[in-house]
């Protein structure tokens, strides 16, 4: 399409060319009649001779050759340093003796300008997967959080006041140095691979019987929403490697799967959910006590499932991928 200030549209170009070629006008006369330059009128006349009416359309302004383009050998070196060393444009430019802007342009062209696309451990481009329908695979894991003392923790009240609040909070343990220990909260989380719909419970331990109870209630919760769980993916923790966990999965008709040892990226969806949960609920605001934080979890889960846009689901809430669910079906 011609730009907004173009003097000639494709139809007018054809008129100029026909006046010159078919009717014998001079190039200067045709250019003066249509208020364009002499080279412009000559160009369209030449294209009319070579290509006919089809030659009056716009062509790409992309050059046929790029003599100053970065050589392919240098591009391979840039990609190698980016993937294997995880270096930025400035560091790569310093090693190769070239402008950082050129390195950045190459990385953008190769879709390596963001390190999130590169696996941290192996340095290879990240391999992402997603199961085709809800229930095909669920991820389970436990997020360990320190309990909040009465009056608030150190993140919001500072170290000194946080230590005083810990000392005043009843029902705590003490270590060998008689320092107060607030114990931990274990958030057992379950997330559906396809929809990213999440289920979570808070307990005081991460034993096998606790994890089994969470799995049973989670599968029932998903069943109420029309989702039948087929497989469950977990890490190699003692609770998930126990015979009791295997028997419980068999009773529920679920096939257990495990991540590779020392490879949390395999369970990356739930690891990323833990970060979202920490930012949106666990450390999002000041809680006066651990009970206040635990009481806030159901409301945040409802917001996450029902209202929060998710980039993996087309910027729609995760619940939209459960076709059998209607808004307001649960609270």
Encode pLDDT of 266-305 as tens digits.
Answer: 888 999 899 999 999 999 889 999 899 999 999 999 999 9
Can you give the pLDDT at residue 329? 44
Q: Are 36 and 110 members of one domain?
A: no
Indicate the DSSP class of residue 71.
P
- Are residues 96 and 189 located together in one domain of the fold? no
Specify the DSSP class assigned to residue 53. G
Query: What integer pLDDT is reported at residue 323 of this predicted model?
Result: 60
Residues 95 and 15 in one domain: no
Shared-domain flag, residues 311 and 248: yes
Per-residue confidence (pLDDT) for residue 181, from 0 to 100? 63
Give the residue among 240, 149, 135 at the shortest CA–CA distance from 197. 135
Q: Is residue 286 part of a domain?
A: yes
230 touches 252 (CB < 8 A): no
Q: How many domains does the chain have?
A: 3
Q: What is the pLDDT of residue 129?
A: 75
Asked if residues 239 and 207 have their Cβ atoms less than 8 Å apart, the reply is yes
- Say if 159 falls within a structural domain: no
Low-confidence spans in the chain with pLDDT less than 70 = 1-6, 116-127, 171-181, 323-331
Asked if 271 contacts 264 with a C-beta cutoff of 8 angstroms, the reply is: yes
296 with 225, same domain?
yes
One domain for residues 35 and 85: no
Predicted confidence (pLDDT) per residue in 262-275, tens digit: 777 788 899 989 99
Let me know whether 302 and 263 are in one domain: yes
Which residues constitute the domain of residue 91?
78-117
The pLDDT assigned to 171 comes to 66
Q: Find where tokens 């894991």 sit.
A: 141
What pLDDT is recorded for position 145?
Answer: 92
């Amino acid at each position: 399409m011609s730009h907004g200030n173009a003097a000639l549209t494709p139809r007018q170009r054809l008129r100029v060319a026909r006046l010159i070629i078919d009717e014998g006008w001079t190039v200067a006369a045709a250019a003066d009649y249509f208020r364009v330059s002499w080279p412009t009128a000559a160009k369209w006349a030449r294209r009319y001779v070579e290509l006919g009416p089809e030659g009056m359309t716009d062509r790409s302004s992309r050059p046929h050759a790029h003599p100053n383009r970065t050589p392919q050998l240098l591009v391979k070196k840039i990609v190698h340093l980016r993937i294997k060393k995880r270096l930025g444009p400035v560091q790569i430019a310093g090693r190769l003796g070239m402008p950082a802007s050129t390195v950045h342009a190459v990385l953008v062209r190769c879709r390596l300008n963001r390190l999130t696309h590169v696996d941290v451990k192996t340095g290879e481009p990240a391999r992402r997967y997603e199961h085709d329908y809800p229930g095909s695979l669920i991820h389970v894991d436990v997020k360990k959080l320190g309990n909040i003392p009465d009056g608030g923790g150190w993140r919001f009240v500072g170290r000194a006041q946080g230590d005083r609040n810990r000392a005043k909070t009843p029902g705590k343990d003490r270590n060998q140095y008689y320092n107060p220990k607030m114990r931990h909260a274990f958030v057992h989380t379950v997330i559906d691979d396809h929809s990213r719909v999440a289920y979570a419970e808070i307990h005081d331990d991460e034993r096998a019987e606790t994890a089994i109870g969470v799995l049973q209630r989670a599968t029932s919760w998903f069943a109420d929403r029309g989702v039948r769980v087929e497989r469950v993916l977990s890490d190699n923790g003692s609770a998930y490697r126990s015979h009791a966990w295997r028997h419980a999965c068999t009773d529920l008709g679920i096939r257990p799967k495990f991540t590779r040892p020392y490879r949390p990226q395999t369970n990356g969806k739930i690891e990323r959910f833990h970060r979202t949960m920490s930012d949106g609920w666990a450390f999002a605001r000041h809680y006066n006590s651990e009970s206040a934080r635990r009481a806030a979890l159901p409301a945040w889960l409802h917001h996450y499932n029902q209202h929060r846009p998710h980039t993996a689901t087309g910027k729609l809430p995760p619940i939209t991928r459960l076709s059998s669910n209607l808004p307001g079906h649960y609270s």
